[in-house]
């Protein structure tokens, strides 16, 4: 019945338009985008586009339809509700707006594991958005008659708050029951990608699959590793390792048998991108068919990675096969190592520490990093940021649902869990220094190789995690953040403050966790 709905909807869309052009390949999409003035061709062949007013996700304009399936399942403290009646009016109005127009559509897949694969149909106004989502999802060899998910993406459609129950003229509305997404009033392409992830995050746990906002790679011995972390912690950089094969850089599922990539591409941040620090990503941004989002070009049409005049959230969207070292099939076995990344701007967390399963659950639900002075107006000192499951904006269910699944997977797999701090040492931001990438890579290598499995550890007295006393190639003093501060009393005060921030944040989960026991 679900596929019948999507088949009928595709027919309705086709009937309203002058034409629906299906499954155009990158050369034609680039050609069409340039002819329509949607972007510019950068040096190397990437398509450079801008997204107008919205250069990031419009979190306050995202809604979930509250119906019989969602009313008792969705985490409404974190998700805004839309009535079924408002959604139906919005759908009807968006369909009516299509009369006489041409749409670009793509048949795609989400989920590399065939057992958990979703067929996705995306209809959009512009060629560049069709190229974007073609780059980021999995491109099928064969096309089915109907989809599991339909996305109608109309950046030029302006919602009516009174008529459609929205906050503004921008809307991202998800009907979880029928797996239908309506997007209007924003050209920021990340809304399409994250809508697929949000649908997956709702339905996957119902099928005993843990959805994860993480990157994943696999070593030469077949050992899989996961990397969780918020923006700016190094998730994409550290998972792109020439010695390991990339499974995916952002969204995955973990079944009882292993992990699989939800996507077929990468959506990498490009601000201050370096050809020496991140050569694989750098080359991908200069490949034909890559979409450069809000990235300005120089007179020679080369990307200006340091120019953030439009936004700091500059991005590149490219297929996985653009990279030189990719895991075939987008699938890996049970992880041997799970890494939680944080950029601790307070400068008190160890550069690396090992977590017990209980501590892993705590840090997963916390999803901690810190913003630093200068990243946003009004921030003059480090500010703790907590995002449950390292991706709260995309989590329709309560975080404890995902937390319990993680505990089960960790227990069954026996995976080691590490907290890797890519932030500051010797003091907080403005006093200390950022932990250098060479040290971070050495510590990560020790965790991935199993070198730390039998290392002598000390227990960090305030936070409780285990910290290695020695790692080859790293000075022992660098492993102890307290020893790196000139003022140890200041360290103690700052550490106690951060511990309290963790405790205050975690209180909102305790009542639900106790009730579930």
HSE-up of residue 53 (Cα within 13 Å, Cβ side): 7
DSSP secondary structure, 269-309, as one string: E-TT--TTTSHHHHHHTTSTTPEEES--B-TTS-B-TT--S
DSSP secondary structure, 112-174, as one string: SSGGG-EEEEEEESSHHHHHHHHHHSB--SS--SS-SEEEEEETT----HHHH--SSS-EEEE
Choose, from 250, 334, 337, 344, the residue flagged as catalytic. 250
Choose, from 57, 116, 164, 193, the residue flagged as catalytic. 57
Say whether 493 is catalytic.
Answer: no
Q: How far apart are CA 43 and CA 131, in angstroms?
A: 18
Say whether 275 is catalytic.
Answer: no
DSSP secondary structure, 4-64, as one string: HHHHHHHHHHHHHSSEEEE---HHHHHHHHHHTTS-EEPTTSPEEE--TT-SS--GGGEEE
Structure tokens belonging to residue 11: 């027919």
Residue 322, phi then psi, degrees to nearest 5: -65, -25
Choose, from 116, 194, 296, 416, the residue flagged as catalytic. 194
Q: For residue 216, give the 3-state DSSP assignment.
A: strand
Say whether 269 is catalytic.
Answer: no
Choose, from 50, 168, 231, 385, the residue flagged as catalytic. 231
Please, where are the H alpha helices in 317-449? 357-366, 399-413, 437-449
Say whether 57 is catalytic.
Answer: yes
Choose, from 107, 235, 244, 336, the residue flagged as catalytic. 235
Say whether 215 is catalytic.
Answer: no
Closest by CA to 389, choosing from 210, 262, 212, is 212
Choose, from 236, 237, 366, 425, the residue flagged as catalytic. 236
Say whether 236 is catalytic.
Answer: yes
Say whether 250 is catalytic.
Answer: yes
Say whether 235 is catalytic.
Answer: yes
Choose, from 134, 213, 354, 371, the residue flagged as catalytic. 213
The residues annotated with a catalytic role in the active site are 57, 194, 213, 231, 235-236, 250, 315
């Amino acid at each position: 019945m679900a596929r019948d709905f999507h088949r009928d909807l595709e027919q309705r869309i086709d009937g309203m338009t002058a034409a629906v052009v299906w499954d155009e390949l990158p050369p034609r999409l680039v050609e069409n985008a340039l002819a329509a003035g949607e972007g510019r061709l950068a040096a190397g062949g990437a398509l450079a586009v801008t997204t107008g007013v919205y250069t990031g996700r419009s979190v306050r304009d995202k809604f979930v339809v509250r119906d019989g399936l969602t009313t008792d399942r969705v985490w409404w403290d974190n998700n805004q509700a839309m009535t079924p009646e408002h959604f139906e009016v919005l759908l009807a109005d968006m369909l009516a707006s299509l009369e006489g127009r041409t749409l670009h559509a793509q048949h795609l897949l989400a989920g590399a594991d065939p057992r958990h694969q979703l067929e996705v149909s995306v209809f959009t106004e512009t060629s560049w958005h069709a190229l974007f989502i073609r780059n980021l999802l999995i491109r099928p060899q064969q096309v089915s008659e109907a989809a599991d998910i339909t996305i109608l993406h109309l950046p030029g459609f302006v919602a009516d708050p009174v008529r459609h129950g929205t906050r503004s003229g921008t809307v991202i509305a998800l009907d979880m029951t029928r797996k239908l997404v309506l997007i209007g009033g924003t050209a920021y392409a990340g809304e399409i990608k994250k809508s697929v992830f949000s649908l997956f995050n709702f339905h996957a746990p119902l099928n005993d699959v843990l959805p994860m906002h993480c990157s994943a790679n696999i070593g030469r011995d077949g050992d899989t590793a996961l990397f969780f972390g918020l923006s700016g912690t190094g998730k994409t950089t550290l998972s792109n390792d020439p010695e390991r094969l990339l499974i995916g850089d952002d969204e995955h599922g973990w079944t009882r048998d292993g992990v699989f990539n939800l996507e077929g591409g990468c959506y990498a941040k490009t601000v201050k991108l370096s050809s020496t620090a991140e050569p694989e990503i750098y080359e991908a941004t200069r490949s034909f068919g890559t979409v450069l989002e809000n990235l300005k070009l120089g007179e020679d049409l080369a990307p200006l990675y340091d120019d953030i005049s439009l936004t700091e959230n500059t991005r590149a969207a490219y297929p996985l096969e653009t990279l030189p070292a990719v895991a075939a099939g987008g699938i890996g076995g049970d992880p041997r190592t799970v890494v939680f990344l944080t950029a601790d701007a307070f400068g008190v967390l160890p550069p690396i520490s090992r977590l017990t399963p209980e501590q892993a659950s705590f840090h997963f639900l916390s999803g901690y990093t810190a913003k630093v002075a200068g990243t946003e107006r009004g921030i003059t000192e480090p500010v703790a940021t907590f995002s449950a499951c390292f991706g709260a904006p995309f989590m329709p269910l309560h975080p404890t649902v995902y937390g319990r699944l993680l505990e089960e997977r960790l227990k069954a797999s026996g995976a080691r869990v590490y907290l890797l701090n890519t932030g500051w040492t010797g003091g907080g931001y403005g006093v200390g220094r950022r932990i250098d990438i060479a040290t971070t890579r050495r510590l990560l290598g020790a965790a991935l190789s199993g070198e730390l499995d039998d290392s002598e550890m000390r227990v960090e007295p305030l936070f409780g995690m285990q910290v290695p006393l020695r790692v080859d190639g790293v000075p022992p003093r660098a492993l102890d953040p307290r020893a790196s501060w000139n003022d140890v009393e200041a360290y103690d005060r700052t550490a106690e403050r951060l511990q309290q921030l963790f405790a205050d944040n975690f209180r909102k989960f305790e009542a639900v966790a106790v009730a579930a026991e």
